[in-house]
Copies of this chain bind each other. A is one copy, B any other.
Amino acid sequence: MKLKVKDMDIATGGVLVAIINRKDADLMDFHTLDRIKLKSGKYTETVVLDIAESDKAVPKGQIGLFEEVLSSLKAKSGKELEILPARKPLSLEYIKKKLDGKKLNKKEINQIVWDIVHNKLDLVELAYFVSACYSNELDMEETTILTKAMASHGDILNTRKYPVMDKHCVGGVAGNRTTMIIVPIIAAAGLTIPKTSSRSITSPAGTADTMEILASVSIGLKKMGAIVKKIGGCIVWGGALNLAPADDKIIRVEKPLAIDARSNLLASVMAKKASVSATHLLVDIPAGKGSKIPENRKALRLKRDFEHLARKLSMKIKVIITDGKQPIGNGIGPALEARDVLYVLLNDMREPLDLRKKALKMAGLMLEMGGKARKGEGLKKARYILESGQAYYKMIEIIKSQGKKVVDPDKIKIGDVFYDYKARKSGMIKYISNEAVSKVARVAGAPKDIGAGVFIHKHVGDRVKKGEVIFTIYTHNEINLKFAKDVFFKSDVIVI
């Protein structure tokens, strides 16, 4: 059958889809979600079929194509395409197999990942894969295969160095920008650390958002390799790279129901590490009330899982369970967090001590792992690198190589509309809620409004006097301030 191209003027952002009219579909006995092969000269593409019931959307004799398919076929409106029936992807069989609780082998998992990466699966089909992995958890062998498959079906950064250091935090704690302190310390010590970070999804700032205050973070793989080769480290946005691309597509389908299949979470983290050829990894699991992982039992299980998977991938790993009960650092929001980081690197007296301490502890462990300090002496060495200014100078090198924006903390622009909350009684701070702090910062405008956020003047255990400022909300307009104050007063952000 031959049909004329109609440009639908929409990108699906993934899945390769074509729409034909119900009448043409009936003629060929085609059904929704069938696969069809499109031929246009020397170009061919297999796509997912959708059927238009109305002639308005796609008239008989035409085929509606989205931007991804148009560009793959180098086709334009009005061009005639040949349409042939095609087989459904093999991976559908394997996804069904997993749904039925059976174990998948290497060939099957590889096929699924290949089909995901090449946009051959419809979102509904992908949801069945996620669901299958959630209900019938992949075992460690399958998880290892999935991790390797996700990494290998994507770009790989190979710096030809050994060791290659990396760190990861499972998240859930506001502030907590250790990466931007650890990377310069590790690189200053002469180790290699090609760090990729993510942007915020539901938090007021991701490391990529915060680093973007100081430098550009959308760096291509080639340039990233060159920077790391020259300077030893970088802090770039993983989303600008094609590392383990299957992972992002899987996460997109997990979001609607907040599904966190354990095996997929592990594979997701470790595939990103494998894509930068990391050999040594430090994982931070913040746990405790108010964090992502309130129960210690669960944190321990996750720790064991990470260790197990790393062993299978021949990666050296150290997993630490840290206190995740309250925010780390004072500023929450991209600009406020970037300023905290620079204060720490400059040993400025305004630095948040909790952030400094945590970053030093982690950097110390990594120096020991990477052979730059003897066991028990990493912390001392990390502190020396930080206090001597070596870490700050390394950070300047990184910032310059990534397109410098600002290096002076006092030149970072913070929202000029603010509200100071004063303690209504004297006493000791008993509790600060990660979730509520993040909510207030987001409503104030973070991370989109980079200067917005909140500043925590006191931490749990600190004594405060009545009338003392303990919490400030920053934003750029009165409306956001009003909304943020509303949220603040409705939730127990800080308990004295």
Do A123 and B125 touch across chains, with their CB atoms under 8 A apart? no
Give A49-67 interface residues, CB cut-off 8 Å to B: 52-54, 56-57, 67
Do A52 and B99 touch across chains, with their CB atoms under 8 A apart? no
Check if A131 is an interface residue, CB within 8 A of chain B: yes
Stretch from A5-13, A226-234, A324-332, A385-393 that touches the partner: A5-13
Check if A418 is an interface residue, CB within 8 A of chain B: no
Do B448 and A96 touch across chains, with their CB atoms under 8 A apart? no
Q: A33-B256, A127-B128, A255-B33 are in contact. Are A56 and B99 (CB under 8 A)?
A: no
Do A125 and B257 touch across chains, with their CB atoms under 8 A apart? yes
Chain B residues closer than 8 Å to A54, beta-carbon distance: 10-11, 67
A–B pairs, 27, beta carbons within 8 Å: A10-B52, A10-B54, A11-B52, A11-B53, A11-B54, A26-B448, A27-B448, A31-B255, A32-B252, A32-B255, A54-B67, A92-B256, A95-B257, A96-B258, A96-B259, A99-B131, A99-B259, A101-B135, A123-B123, A124-B127, A124-B253, A127-B128, A127-B131, A128-B259, A131-B131, A135-B135, A135-B136
Check if A134 is an interface residue, CB within 8 A of chain B: yes
Q: Which interface residue of A27, A67, A131 has the most chain B CB atoms within 10 A?
A: A131
Do A256 and B9 touch across chains, with their CB atoms under 8 A apart? no
Do B29 and A442 touch across chains, with their CB atoms under 8 A apart? yes
Interface residues as binary, A376-410 with B (CB distance below 8 Å gives 1, 0 otherwise): 00000000000000000000000000000000000
Check if A142 is an interface residue, CB within 8 A of chain B: no
Chain B residues closer than 8 Å to A101, beta-carbon distance: 135
Instruction: Assign chain A's interface to a size class.
Output: 35 or more
CA gap between A213 and B337 in the complex, in Å: 73
Using A11-B53, A128-B256, A135-B136 as known contacts, list a sample of 5 further A-B pairs with CB atoms less than 8 Å apart, ordered by residue number in A.
A10-B52, A11-B57, A99-B131, A99-B259, A131-B135
Chain B residues closer than 8 Å to A252, beta-carbon distance: 32
CA gap between A13 and B11 in the complex, in Å: 20
CA gap between A234 and B9 in the complex, in Å: 47
Check if A122 is an interface residue, CB within 8 A of chain B: yes
Q: A99-B134, A131-B135 are in contact. Are A256 and B53 (CB under 8 A)?
A: no
CA gap between A89 and B128 in the complex, in Å: 20
Chain B residues closer than 8 Å to A57, beta-carbon distance: 9-11
Interface residues as binary, A16-58 with B (CB distance below 8 Å gives 1, 0 otherwise): 0000000000110101110000000000000000001110110
Chain B residues closer than 8 Å to A127, beta-carbon distance: 124, 127-128, 131
Residue of B nearest to A33 (CB): B256
Chain B residues closer than 8 Å to A188, beta-carbon distance: none
Q: Which interface residue of A127, A135, A253, A259 has the most chain B CB atoms within 10 A?
A: A127
Give A228-260 interface residues, CB cut-off 8 Å to B: 252-253, 255-259
Check if A267 is an interface residue, CB within 8 A of chain B: no
Chain B residues closer than 8 Å to A31, beta-carbon distance: 255
Check if A283 is an interface residue, CB within 8 A of chain B: no
Chain B residues closer than 8 Å to A96, beta-carbon distance: 257-259
Chain B residues closer than 8 Å to A310, beta-carbon distance: none
CA gap between A57 and B8 in the complex, in Å: 8
